Structures are given as structure tokens and as C-alpha cells.
Amino acid sequence: MDLCRATSAIRRAPGGQIAGEVTVTGLLRLSEPKGGFLRSNDPAAGRWYSRDVEAIARDKSLGDTEPYFIDADATANPGGYPVGGLTVVQFRNSHLSYAITWFALALLALGAAVYCWRLRKAAS
């Protein structure tokens, strides 16, 4: 869903506009204006392929905005928007492969040292 349709859906949704102080819970992320593998944004069509906060704010005439956005958590929101919980944070666990690599390199270095020591011993 593009930003325009999402915004208008929030305005139409019952309970979508909350009066007073609101707490927003999520993942704070910096603006991501470009990406090496992303298409160019198409503001005229409301298609945003990168999260360029400044360009979106300029296109929607939002005035001054901060250079970050918040990916909402999975908590249900009044009116159903924004839909949260879509950001997955998962770190790769490659410790075993790193350990195997380093021990293999250590064995190769030891083998090379033994080989050089034998060559030197045979030459003398």
C-alpha cells in the first residue's frame, strides 16, 4: 500500500485518529535514501522503493521532519494502521564456521612450519 492510500485509510478508519499523547513503540531507523539494487522512487505515482524520509516529506508537503522513521512493533494499532511487526531483526550465527576456519588455518601454518623445518634439517 502506498503512503497516500495508507494515510487516507488511517483517517477513515474508526479509532484511527487518537487525541492526546501517543506512545510509539518500534525500531528507530535512519533514512535510507538510496540503495544499490533498488529502483528509483516515483513520487508522482506514490511509489517509494527506498525509505527516503526527506523526499517523502517534501512530496507530501510535511514541512520539517526528522531524518529517521519508526518501524512499528507487532502491537495492534487503533484503526489497523500502521501495520507493525514486519521488520525482522535476525543476526547470523556463524561462530562454528569461523572456529573451523581458524583452526584449519592454524593447522596449515603448523604443517608449513614442520615442512620448512624438515627441509632445513635435511639440507644441513
Residue 99: predicted pLDDT: 96
CA distance 74 to 44: 30
pTM greater than 0.85: no
> ∠ at Cα 5 (62, 13), nearest 5°?
100
Encode pLDDT of 19-49 as tens digits.
788 777 888 888 888 777 888 888 899 888 8
Among the residue ranges 2-6, 15-19, 105-109, the one predicted with the least confidence is 2-6
Encode pLDDT of 51-106 as tens digits.
888 988 899 888 888 888 888 888 887 777 778 888 888 888 889 999 999 999 99
Closest CA to 69 of 55, 79, 89: 55
Q: Dig out the grid coordinates for 59 from the structure.
A: 512530496
Q: Are 6 and 82 in contact (CB under 8 A)?
A: yes
Q: Dig out the grid coordinates for 55 from the structure.
A: 523526499
